[in-house]
Amino acid sequence: MPEPTGVIHDIGYQRYTGPRLGRRAVFGALYLHGLRTAFGLGRSAKAKIFPWLVVGIVTLVAAAATAVRSQIGEVVMTYAQFADNMSWLVIFFVAVVAPELVSRDLLSGVLPLYFSRPLPRSDYPVAKLLALATALWLLLGGPQLVMFLGAAFTGGDGMRGVWNELLDLLPGLLYAGLWAAVFASVGLLVASLTGKRAFAAGGIVAVFLMTTPIVGVLSIMPSQTINELAFLASPSTLVGSVGAWALGDLLGPQASVPIGGFGPVYAVAAVLLVAGCVALLLQRYRKVAAR
Amino acid sequence: MTLIATESLTKTYGGGVTALADLTVAVEPGIIGLVGANGAGKSTLIKILLGLLAPTSGRVRVLGLDPTTDSAQVRARVGYMPEHDALPPDLSAAELVTHLGRVSGLPRTVARERASEALRHVGLYEERYRPVGGYSTGMKQRVKLAQALVHDPDLLLLDEPTNGLDPAGRDAMLALVHRIGTEFGISVLVCSHLLGEVERICDTLVAIDGGRLLRADHISAMTSAIDVLAVEVSEGIEDLAARLAALDLPVRRDGRLLLVELVDDATYDLILGAVAELDLPLHRLDQRRHRVAELFATREPSHA
């Protein structure tokens, strides 16, 4: 170990007598760290490429839609439709970011360093989950805000136009929140099962994409009830169906999903899916912490 | 104040594996060596002390708190350095230790300052801004120690801190642990399967085997009054033994050596006088400090 030649005065070890923050501050630190990690902030340039590529694409799409609307006056997509149209990108974003948030920690063995600190065991997964959900919501909500600003201030209807746009925007943001909640909880649960990032990413894509053919098969079964419930089989169609039921024409007539009168069933299913994933996630970390 | 106290502490894992059996021990603040073979129950004991595992039965107190009920308070005052790799390769040491400092409840700026300080104390300077993935094993061990130190704990639990280090690295790590225990005013529990290592730095030694307590005592009590002189002559070893016995010196035969208890400097003169009188060729006369290992070695037959 070469001794440093510069002047470093060893003032000795200093005991710390200042404040020690409580659970909320610690949870906040974990949450913010997770949110920064999701976008590759404070990480290597390599970790920034993918998240910002996705952010760039969605922003570009929103800007293009806004431009078309202000020039031609034709609404290319509503705020709520935006989330639907971006679902593929959201899946890939989750597949990259969720393993970054949890699988990496599992593989590197850093978890004992967290669990030997005062935070309760459940705070770690919950903070990570909220961070991922927030990242997804920002990913879908940010471009909607761009569309809103573009539409509201080029419409020429004055304050009334802005107000009408706002009434359209808010359901869109709520719908983005539903996408974020479902995709974050499912994605994070899958990622928490393995320390290998590639496996985790593959698993997440598989859960979201491989379930789509099941929907296809069920929707051509010779029973109308099965057809109308078919969209429960895949997270993306589940979210889309809840949207179709709750938002109706905001998603546009062409996007309407034939779910019959089962709308409330879909809403309950979405809530149960999120709750189930969170419960399993907490269960998983109860086991991991004791290792 | 008692630093750590356990009372009939027992931990049985599912499947009937007993990791700790009826362990009762109490230690005072200072540097404590916890020694035992692999699988003796050292890591299980540490996890119970941290409140990560619940004991099957028995009681335990750390810093006067019960980790089974007040685990958060205990963990706020304890720093833990795990045995295995625990560092994400793409973060720099400074970022990781700062982040973990915040998880321990330090305000943001304080966490950054104390992380730098902790890394400096363990001997990491400019390299702390590089990703941990490129560090040597010795540097990684230092980062692990720094993160245990960042929140200024009252007790450090170090699980095999010299694991994977070369002899020079081991010496440096042990010197660092000794400095933390003596100069920083932080009590340290060092786990090791190498008795020879921890006995060099600790005040108290706790030896466990198969989850049971072998012995716990101050190191001075274990090594006092057992300094011996080893005498080697190439012939006439029986004659010399008889002569020394006649001089009232307690003599033991150990292979080709005679072991004579060292009472004071006069013992040297008596032995040299005896050798000269018998006109024997003296090969060797040296002082031997009994290693603590020998204390356990003589106990083991009764244990097994």
Amino acid at A55: V
Nearest to B117 by CA among A2, A14, A19, A8: A14
Q: What pLDDT score does A6 carry? A: 56
Give a yes or no: residue B36 inside a domain.
yes
Nearest to B95 among A22, A42, A109 (CB): A42
Same structural domain, B280 and B180: no
Alpha-carbon distance of B171 to B83, in angstroms, equals: 17
The torsion angles phi and psi of A154, rounded to 5 degrees, stand at: -115, -5
B159 and B30 share one domain: yes
What are B59's two structure tokens?
């009681």
A99 CB-contact burial (10 Å; exposed 0-12 / middle 13-18 / buried 19+): buried
User: How far off is chain B from A273, nearest CA to CA, in Å?
Assistant: 30
**Mean pLDDT of all residues belonging to chain B:** 86
Same structural domain for residues B278 and B170?
A: no
Residues B31 and B91 placed together within one structural domain of the fold: yes
In a domain, B299, yes or no: no
pLDDT the model gives residue B97: 95
Residue B249 sits in a domain of what CATH number?
3.30.70.100
Same domain, B253 and B208: no
Q: What is the three-class DSSP state of A154?
A: coil
Beta bridge partners of B158: B81, B190
Distance CA A109, CA B85 (A): 6
Q: What is the pLDDT along chain A (291 residues), one digit of tens a residue?
A: 555 555 555 668 888 888 989 899 999 999 999 999 999 887 888 888 989 999 999 999 888 888 888 788 777 788 888 888 888 889 999 999 999 999 989 998 899 999 999 988 899 999 999 999 999 999 999 998 888 888 877 766 677 778 888 888 888 899 999 999 999 999 999 999 998 989 999 999 999 888 888 888 888 888 888 888 888 888 888 888 888 888 876 666 555 677 777 888 889 999 999 999 999 999 999 888 766
Contact list in B for residue A43 (CB cut-off 8 A) is 90-91
Q: Three-state SS for A29?
A: helix
And the tokens for A217? 């098969």
Spatial contact of A3 and B89, defined as CB atoms under 8 Å apart:
no
Check whether B119 has a pLDDT greater than 90: yes
pLDDT, residue A8, reads 53
Highest mean pLDDT among B75-79, B238-242, B255-259: B75-79
Which residue range is the domain that position B36 belongs to?
Answer: 4-218
Q: Indicate the residue of A18, A110, A115 with minimum beta-carbon distance to B87.
A: A110
Kindly determine whether residue B105 and residue A13, on different chains, have CB atoms separated by under 8 Å. Answer: no
Domain-ending residue, one of B218, B245, B279: B218
Whether B223 maps to a domain, the answer reads no
B234 plus B212 within the same structural domain: no
In 3D space, the residue among A244, A242, A265, A247 whose CA is nearest the CA of residue A256 turns out to be A244
User: Closest approach of chain B CAs to the CA of A95, in angstroms?
Assistant: 19
**Chain A interface mutation, best of B102, B130, B166, highest count of A Cβ atoms under 10 Å:** B102
CA distance B96 to chain A (A): 10
pLDDT of residue B266: 81
> How many CA atoms lie less than 13 Å away from A131 in the CB half-sphere?
27
Among A69-78, B148-157, B198-207, which is the least confidently predicted range? Answer: A69-78
Of the pLDDT bands very low, low, confident and very high (cuts 50, 70, 90), residue B301 is very low
In a domain, B302, yes or no: no
Dihedral angle sign, alpha carbons of residues B218, B220, B225, B229: positive
Question: CA torsion, points A25, A27, A32, A34, in degrees to nearest 10?
Answer: 160
Do B9 and B35 reside in the same domain of the chain? yes
Is B196 inside any structural domain? yes
CA-based nearest residue to A191, from A84, A38, A56, A89? A38
Indicate whether B280 and B171 sit together in one domain: no
Choose the final residue of a domain: B218, B248, B272. Answer: B218
Interface test with chain B among A113, A119, A123, by most B beta carbons within 10 Å = A113
Domain boundary among B188, B218, B248: B218
User: With contacts defined as CB-CB under 8 Å, which chain B residues touch A1?
Assistant: 123, 172
The interface residues of chain B toward chain A in range 13-72, judged by CB-CB distance below 8 A, are: 47, 50, 52-53, 72
A198 min Cα distance to partner chain B (Å): 16
> In this predicted complex, what is the ipTM?
0.85
Same domain flag for B162 and B36:
yes
If phi > 0 it is left, if psi is from -120 to 50 it is alpha, else beta; for residue A119 that is: beta
Are B87 and A26 inside 8 Å of each other by CB? no
The CATH number of whichever domain residue B76 belongs to comes to 3.40.50.300
* CB atoms inside a 10 Å sphere around CB A195: 17
Question: Cβ contact (<8 Å) for A26 and B105?
Answer: yes
Shortest distance, CA B169 to any CA of chain A (angstroms): 9
As for how many domains chain B has, the answer is 2
**Both B172 and B103 in a single domain?**
yes
To probe the interface with A, which of B103, B110, B121 has the most A CB atoms within 10 Å?
A: B103
First-to-final CA distance of chain B: 35
pLDDT band at B302 (very low <50, low <70, confident <90, very high): very low
pLDDT band at B49 (very low <50, low <70, confident <90, very high): very high
- Say what the pLDDT of residue B304 is: 35
Three-state DSSP class for residue A103: helix
Strands (E), A205-260: none
**Closest alpha carbon within chain A to B119:** A13
In a domain, B205, yes or no: yes
* Contact with chain A for residue B194, Cβ under 8 A: no
Task: Return the residue of B nearest to A101 by Cα.
Answer: B88
Asked whether residue B39 is assigned to any structural domain, the reply reads: yes
Q: Please list every residue in chain B whose beta carbon sits closer than 8 Å to the beta carbon of residue A8.
A: 120, 125
Angle CA(A54)–CA(A58)–CA(A62) in degrees, nearest 5? Answer: 165
CA-based nearest residue in chain A for residue B46: A116
Percent of chain B whose predicted confidence (pLDDT) is above 90: 43
Same domain, B213 and B141: yes
Any domain includes B300: no
Q: Quick one: which of B87, B86, B79, B23 has its CA closest to B55?
A: B23
B263 and B151 share one domain: no
pLDDT of residue B251: 83
